[in-house]
Copies of this chain bind each other. A is one copy, B any other.
């Protein structure tokens, strides 16, 4: 029999309620380890209970070791902070729209699982022969390439190639303003390590790539969203958010926005940069989808000249997700500081991945591969779009390219319900609210057209929609 059992039931409930309130404050880091607990009198008023109830609750928490009494000085949160569980941070989301859960589903999906919700191309859409040829060439490379750390900035010839590629988009970076990283995600992580403090505010598009939420949660920043339109962020809302929240950083995709496939217009780009100037905002332009564009659209980094814009990218989407190689282009003094961040976080980058990317970028493989890929994606985009429209699932915009189609379900349907049902049939979907900070995209789904060729998807989708609509009518 516990102590609670021998108490008056209501008093037991009240004590439990106070204990829970303190536990929540500790879990949510409102009360850090070592912090003093609210005074007995103060907290009894806050909770609307008697002082003796609070005394009882504090004593029990002390008995559990959650807090410690210090003679004559009150109660303090005990010991060390609990481990920083990302799953327990942030909003409590149902699994279907939890970014970590969705990532794990996609990363873990075995053979026979359809992944229209995943963010990358199927294995046979990558330049397989080019990769094999690159590996054979690498097997004959000098010993240093096979065994040594890369230089702090990373393989010079690859940075030279990247500088030329950036120049095509009007970004005058030069190889010394480019640092290689292990991935686009690591690039963003290093930028965050360098520029944001825990508690800072960071602005993202709503909707945006869901791992931005995950990464920012890991950096313990406050995330604020700005609605995304088919031409870029809603500039009126953007201005208002800047004035109100003074975010340190804005993270976005200009070329082919993830998940919407939209493209930043020149007028919006200009306005965003003007506001960024006015409010001292730094912008990270994640240009990971650059090479999917049919023709170059405006880049914030080009308009701005890498003054307050940092551009990041990688080859995970176009070349291989298995070959880890990304980059950061930024102004000189920031690159200098970012080298230290990279050394601290991962010491050197491997020469391996960089050499392989370089070989494929320079031997003609990549250009031919991307030409073919754009054509193939355009055709698939048309087919998938037509199939979805026929089911009354309507694209929000017609993307100029890329693999993503951001679609709206008929009224009354919830994409997370549909996603849950299809998961039971081994089909991984990407429900809209995974991407939406405000959770305002419950009717949306992001389709990866390259992963949506199997007719089973549409059959299962149709069945799930019918079931959900029926349930909706009965409810």
Contacts and interface: CB of A to CB of B under 8 A. Distances in A.
Interface of A: 32, 79-81, 83-87, 100, 103-104, 107-108, 120-121, 123-124, 126, 128, 131-133, 135-136, 138-140, 142-152, 182-183, 185-186, 189, 193-195, 197-198, 200, 211, 214-215, 217-218, 246, 248, 280, 316, 320-324, 334, 337, 339-341, 343-353
Give the copy number: 2
A132 B140 contact: yes
Contact of A182 (B85, B86, B346): B346
Contacts of A322: 145-150, 350-352
Contacts of A83: 194-195, 334, 337
Nearest to A219: B344
B200 A80 contact: yes
A352 B324 contact: yes
A99 to B, nearest CB: 8
Contacts of A150: 107, 322
Nearest to A126: B147
Given A80-B248, A123-B144, A323 B350 contact: yes
Nearest to A138: B135
Nearest to A249: B80
A341 B126 CA distance: 28
Contacts of A182: 182, 324, 346
Given A108-B152, A126-B146, A322-B352, 9 more contacts: A83-B194, A86-B344, A100-B339, A103-B152, A183-B346, A217-B344, A322-B351, A324-B324, A324-B352
B346 A80 contact: no
B323 A352 contact: yes
B350 A324 contact: yes
B120 A143 contact: no
A114 to B, nearest CB: 15
Contacts of A104: 152, 339, 343
A280 B78 CA distance: 11
Nearest to A352: B322
Contacts of A149: 107, 120, 316, 321-322
Contact of A340 (B214, B339, B351, B353): B214
Contact of A143 (B126, B183, B316): B126
A85 B341 CA distance: 8
A150 B324 CA distance: 11
Contacts of A218: 193, 341, 344-345
Contacts of A324: 182, 324, 346, 349-350, 352-353
A186 B151 contact: no
B151 A215 contact: no
A148 B123 contact: yes
B214 A343 contact: yes
B84 A193 contact: yes
A208 to B, nearest CB: 14
A128 B103 contact: no
Contacts of A189: 344-346
A200 to B, nearest CB: 7
Given A124-B143, A341-B218, A346 B186 contact: yes
Contacts of A197: 32, 81, 84
12 contacts: A80-B246, A103-B343, A103-B347, A107-B343, A123-B146, A128-B146, A135-B135, A147-B322, A149-B316, A182-B346, A189-B346, A218-B341
A80 B280 CA distance: 8
A112 to B, nearest CB: 13
B214 A344 contact: yes
Given A104-B343, A151-B108, A146 B131 contact: yes
